[in-house]
Amino acid sequence: MYSRTVQIWVGLFVVAGMAGLLMLSMKVSNISTFNSGGAGYDLKARFGNVGGLKVRSPVTMAGVLVGRVAAIDFDKKRYEAVVTLHIESRYNNIPEDTSASIFTAGLLGEQYIGLDAGGSEQYLKAGDTIQLTQSAVILEQLIGHFLVSKADK
């Protein structure tokens, strides 16, 4: 019924489809760019709310990937999330008055940290804490505030 060449082409098509799904899943989960833990240094940042930020989420500066989130912990005394950022060693001239914000990217809502450089001539070094931070915007809270403000009118 089916010739041998048709069966081979169908098999190749199925294998190519599975390879494509594997690559897509690796891209979405950030496994494809596994470089965390290599040469670099760690910085800390404190946030009131990290939303859906995860370990290995990107850290960008001017849209360029400069590092990854290495750890997310909770400070029991200050009731804040403490995020450890692993920055690649080639980006060792980040001003000490740099700010960090949590943003959402893409259709899947992946969250990442964006750094905005300050103007200081002193640079952050390993173990320093970024002082200026902006927490994640939680969509449910925005909708709740919007509905409450509409109900008040």
Question: Which helix (H) or strand (E) is 92 found in, with range?
Answer: none
Specify if 151 maps to a domain: no
User: 19 and 73: one domain?
Assistant: no
What's residue 36's pLDDT?
47
User: 117 and 48: one domain?
Assistant: yes
Per-residue pLDDT of the chain (153 residues; tens, 9 = 90+): 568 888 899 999 999 999 999 888 777 665 545 454 568 999 999 999 998 899 999 999 999 999 999 999 999 999 999 999 999 999 999 999 999 999 988 766 788 999 999 899 999 999 999 999 988 877 777 788 778 877 776
| Residue 46 to residue 133: CA distance in whole angstroms | 7
Domains held by the chain: number: 2
| Residue 84 to residue 73: CA distance in whole angstroms | 8
User: 28 and 45: one domain?
Assistant: no
Specify if 150 maps to a domain: no
User: 54 and 96: one domain?
Assistant: yes
What's residue 142's pLDDT?
75
Specify if 84 maps to a domain: yes
Specify if 14 maps to a domain: yes
Specify if 152 maps to a domain: no
User: 4 and 69: one domain?
Assistant: no
Instruction: Provide the residue range defining the domain that includes 21.
Output: 1-32
What's residue 81's pLDDT?
95
Residue 121 amino acid letter: E
User: 48 and 18: one domain?
Assistant: no
User: 1 and 44: one domain?
Assistant: no
What's residue 28's pLDDT?
67
User: 62 and 127: one domain?
Assistant: yes
Contacts for 149 with CB less than 8 Å, ≥ 6 apart: none
Specify if 105 maps to a domain: yes
Residue 38 amino acid letter: G
